[in-house]
Structure 1
Amino acid sequence: MDKKVFLDMFRDQDKNYISGLYEDVELCRNIEVPIYTKDFLTPDIYMKLKANENKLGVMVQGNGVFEDCERRMVKFSVHQDTSEDFELDVLIVTNKSKFKELGHRDYLGSIMALGIKRNLFGDLVVEGNKCYIPVASSVSNYIIDNLNQIGNCPCTVEILNEDEEQLPKINFNEKNIIATSLRIDNVVPGICNISRARGTELINGGAVLLNYQICDRKDKIVEINDTITIRGFGKFKVRSIIGETGKGRIKLLVGKYI
C-alpha cells in the first residue's frame, strides 16, 4: 500500500500523525523487526489498521492492558512473534480521602491538568478508591512525582506489580433487549428504548457509530462484540445472543460502558 492510499484511509485524522504510522509500517516491512508505537491509538485508527493487515503487509497487534479496552499501543510485525515489548506501565492512583468518592472524570481531568497528552495513556478503570491507568513508560515517573491530589482529595500513585495484584475489568451495565433482526436499525431502537422511526433518524443523521465508524446504512448487520456508539445515549457492546422469543425475535445481551 502506497502512502497516498494509506493517508486516504484516515482523512479525518491529523496528517502528520498518520504519516508517522505509515513510516512505522514501512520500517517494519523493510527491516522485518517488530515496531511498537510509543502512544495509545484511538479505536477508530486501530480498527482500520487491524482490518487492513493484508494490504499493509504487516500483522497488527494491540495492547491496552484491559479486556474490552478502547485505546491501545500497537505492535507491527512481519513474522509471527510472541514477544510484547510495549513501553507501558500500569499506574494505580489511590484516593486517600474517606469523605469523597472519585469517578472516571475526576482522575482523567487531574492527569490532563498535568499537561499529559491524551494519547499517552489508555483507558481508565475505577474500582473502589483506586483508578488503574495504562500509561506510556516515558511519562510514568512524571505522573508519580507530580500527581498528589485529585481535586481536593490526596492520593498516592504507584506502578502496578502484576505479580501482586490482579487487574480489574472494564465495567458494563448490562441489559437484555429484543430485536426483530440483527440489522442496526432494529438493534438501535432496542438499545435506546425508542421507536424504529426515531432510530432510523439517528442513523440517517450520522449519530450512530458502529465500531467507531459512522454507520449510515440502516441494513448493516450487527455482530457479537461489535461496539455501537449512539450520540446522546452512550456507548454499548453487543455481548451475546441469549435466545429467541416465542415469535422468533432475537434476545440480545447488551452492555453499556460505564
Structure 2
Amino acid sequence: MNIYQHFRPAEREIIDQVLQWKNQVETMYAPKLTDFLDPREQFILKALVGENGDIRTELSGGPSFAERKRALLLPDYAIFEPEDFQIRLIEVQYPAKFVTVEHPHVLGSLMSLGLKRGKFGDILARDDRIQFLCAAEVADFVKMNLESIGKASVSLREVPIDGAIEPAESWSEVATTVSSLRLDAVLAAIHNLSRQKSQLMIQQGLVKVNWTEIASPSFECGEADMISVKGYGRARLNSIEGKTKKEKWRILVGKQK
C-alpha cells in the first residue's frame, strides 16, 4: 500500500522523516526526540507510528495548553520523564511602556537567527508579557544572540515551565456538516459565510492553513488542520466523523473565542 496516497503531496517530507525516526527507534532500541511539530504534523506522526506496535509516541510542548509539541518516540517498554523533552521557556523583557511587541515580531526575529522553525514552540502573549518555548539545545544561543525584536531592545531570561503565560483566548468545539472538505466549503461552514465570500477571502490571501497561505479554494482540508482567517481568528478541524445519509461530511471544529 502506498502510504503517501493518504496524505498531501506537500507532506511527503514529514512522512519520510517520521518513517526514518520510527525505523531508528526500532533498530537501535533507543528513544528519538523530535523538533517541535505543529498539530497537523503531530497527527501524521501518530497515524504512521500507530498505537499497537512496539513503539509509542509521547508529546509535550511545555505547558499543557501548548499547540506546538516535541515528540518522543520510544520503545513500548521504556519510561520517560518530563525533562526528556528538553524544552525551555524564555521570557522577553522589553520597555513595554514605549513599544509594542507582538507575536509576528517575535517569530520574525527568532527566524532571523538562522534557526529552523522546528526549534521553537508556542509564542505566548498576554497583556504586556511575551514568552516563547524553545528546544534546550538552542536556548543559550538564542539568549546570547537575540538583542532586539522589532524596534525594541530586549533581554531574555529563562523561567520555569510552570510560569508559562496562559493565553487569554479560549476554544469551543462545534459540530457541523459540509458538502465537501474543500477549503472554501469548510471555511464557509465554520464562520457562517457564503461559499462565494469564502472563495474571495482565499483568493485575496487572507486564509492560512497550518500557518501557510493557501490560494486555492479547492484545497482539501484534513484532520488537525489549523485554519486562520484575517479578521476572523483561528479554527481547528478536530476530527472528520464520516458522512451523513445525505452524503455530507460531519466535522468537529474548535473555534477560538
In 2, the alpha carbon distance for the partners of 1:55 and 1:255 equals 28
Cα deviation, residue 21, structure 1:
3.2
Q: Which residue of the other structure, out of 34, 48, 56, is the alignment partner of 1:52?
A: 48
In 2, the alpha carbon distance for the partners of 1:201 and 1:106 equals 29
* One-letter identity of the residue aligned with 1:54: G
Q: Which residue of 2 aligns with 1:255?
A: 255
Give TM-score scaled by structure 1 length.
0.68
For residues 63-97 of structure 1, give each alpha carbon's deviation from its aligned partner in whole angstroms, at most 9, with x where no partner exists: 11244433221111222534230122111112224
Instruction: Go from structure 1 to structure 2 and tell me whether the alpha carbon gap of 1:209 and 1:184 turns closer, same or farther (over 3 Å shift).
Output: farther
For residues 195-214 of structure 1, give each alpha carbon's deviation from its aligned partner in whole angstroms, at most 9, with x where no partner exists: 3x448869xx9x7969x9x8
The reply on whether 1:170 has 2:167 as its aligned counterpart is: yes
Q: Which residue of 2 aligns with 1:43?
A: 39
Q: Which residue of 1 aligns with 2:215?
A: none
In 2, the alpha carbon distance for the partners of 1:104 and 1:230 equals 14
The reply on whether 1:183 has 2:177 as its aligned counterpart is: yes
For residues 232-252 of structure 1, give each alpha carbon's deviation from its aligned partner in whole angstroms, at most 9, with x where no partner exists: 54421489xxxxxxxxxxxx9
* One-letter identity of the residue aligned with 1:43: P
SS where residue 59 of structure 2 aligns? Answer: strand
Structure 1: gaps spanning 5 or more residues: 240-251
Cα deviation, residue 157, structure 1:
0.3
Q: Which residue of 1 aligns with 2:159?
A: 160
Structure 2: gaps spanning 5 or more residues: 180-184, 213-217, 239-251
Cα deviation, residue 193, structure 1:
3.5
Query: 8 Å contact 1:10–1:45 — kept in the other structure?
Result: no
Cα deviation, residue 47, structure 1:
0.7
For residues 179-226 of structure 1, give each alpha carbon's deviation from its aligned partner in whole angstroms, at most 9, with x where no partner exists: xx621459754642423x448869xx9x7969x9x8748xx9x9xxx6
In 2, the alpha carbon distance for the partners of 1:133 and 1:89 equals 8
In 1, the alpha carbon distance for the partners of 2:8 and 2:186 equals 28
CA RMSD of aligned residues (A): 4.2
Instruction: Go from structure 1 to structure 2 and tell me whether the alpha carbon gap of 1:215 and 1:152 turns closer, same or farther (over 3 Å shift).
Output: closer
SS where residue 105 of structure 1 aligns? Answer: helix
For residues 20-51 of structure 1, give each alpha carbon's deviation from its aligned partner in whole angstroms, at most 9, with x where no partner exists: 432221121233332211x2123222111113
Alignment of 1:1-258 (within 5 A): 5=3, 9=7, 11-13=9-11, 15=13, 18-37=15-34, 39-54=35-50, 57=53, 58-79=55-76, 81-84=79-82, 85-162=84-161, 166-172=163-169, 182-184=176-178, 188-189=187-188, 191-195=190-194, 197-198=195-196, 216=220, 229=227, 233-237=232-236, 255-256=255-256
Query: 8 Å contact 1:92–1:159 — kept in the other structure?
Result: yes
Count residues in correspondence: 226
Cα deviation, residue 125, structure 1:
0.8
Instruction: Go from structure 1 to structure 2 and tell me whether the alpha carbon gap of 1:89 and 1:235 turns closer, same or farther (over 3 Å shift).
Output: same
Identical residues among aligned pairs (%): 20
Query: 8 Å contact 2:177–2:189 — kept in the other structure?
Result: no
In 1, the alpha carbon distance for the partners of 2:41 and 2:253 equals 27
